[in-house]
Amino acid sequence: MGRSLPTEEVPIPSYDERHTRDLIEGLIRPSGWVIVRIHESESKTPDMWLRKGDTAILSELKTPELHFDLGRGLFLFQTGFSKLAKLLHKSVKQLRAIDQHHEHPWLVIFVSYNFQFGFEAFINALQGGFAPGDGNIYPPGYKGSRPHKQILEDVKNVDAVLWLQGHEGGENFYAGTLGVLQITAFIEDLELFALDMESVIPDFNFSFQRTTFNT
């Protein structure tokens, strides 16, 4: 019987949030949006306001990593899905710390520098995994798990998720999706933001649908 390959998890290269925030600021400035950064306090607060005229969108930035298992030659999507659930949960707490009564649109921005970890991964995390058509859902054990249940609860609290796809060199963004997955009172503000993002991101999609996910 042959020896099993060693298992070693390697994070796909990511970039710190300060670098990513600077990229976002450079991206949205030509369309009239500005970033107003929120100073950190003892209580966790979100990163920034996105402002244009009278519109203000409260935003939290996250840069999730997708780990790769060298031994098995596989991307660890279950780890990635669980990480997305954890980051979204933390984001909701941070947004609520500033806007307890939800008087402004809440936007969670995910930035990925790995082309295999895009907005579809976020949708799969909500759905409980991805179905390749063989009758199974992968990764096994994630659907109905605690992280899956948690992300389904937390997504009800945010007005939209902006997923930006960056080159591995961390130089710019080549694709993005603004996903509105729940009914929101701030749809006009988000539509304005989406129209402006469409003008500065080469491959941009605005997805508005009320989607029901379950465990």
Reduced 3-state DSSP string for the chain: CCCCCCCCEEECCCCCHHHHHHHHHHHHHHHCCEEEECCCCCCCCCCEEEEECCEEEEEEEECCCCEEECCCCEECHHHHHHHHHHHHHHHHHHHHHHCCCCCCCEEEEEEECCCCCCHHHHHHHHHCCECCCCCCCECCCCCCCHHHHHHHHHCCCCCEEEEEEECCCCCCEEEEEEEECCCCCCHHHHHHHHHHHHHHCCEEEEEECCCCCCC
Residue 66 has pLDDT above 50, yes or no: yes
Instruction: Select the more confidently predicted residue: 85 or 65.
Output: 85
Q: What is the pLDDT of residues 130-182, one digit of tens each?
A: 887 787 888 888 899 999 999 999 999 999 999 999 987 777 899 999 999 88
Closest by Cα among 200, 175, 59, 73 to 114? 175
User: Residue 96 — very low, low, confident or very high, per pLDDT cuts 50/70/90?
Assistant: very high
User: Residue 76 — very low, low, confident or very high, per pLDDT cuts 50/70/90?
Assistant: low
User: Residue 114 — very low, low, confident or very high, per pLDDT cuts 50/70/90?
Assistant: confident
Q: How many CA atoms lie within 13 A of 190 on its CB side?
A: 27
pLDDT of residue 79: 77
The pair of structure tokens assigned to 86 is 């954890």
User: Residue 43 — very low, low, confident or very high, per pLDDT cuts 50/70/90?
Assistant: low
User: Residue 7 — very low, low, confident or very high, per pLDDT cuts 50/70/90?
Assistant: very low
- Select the highest-mean-pLDDT range: 2-6, 38-42, 187-191: 187-191
Residue 2 has pLDDT above 90, yes or no: no
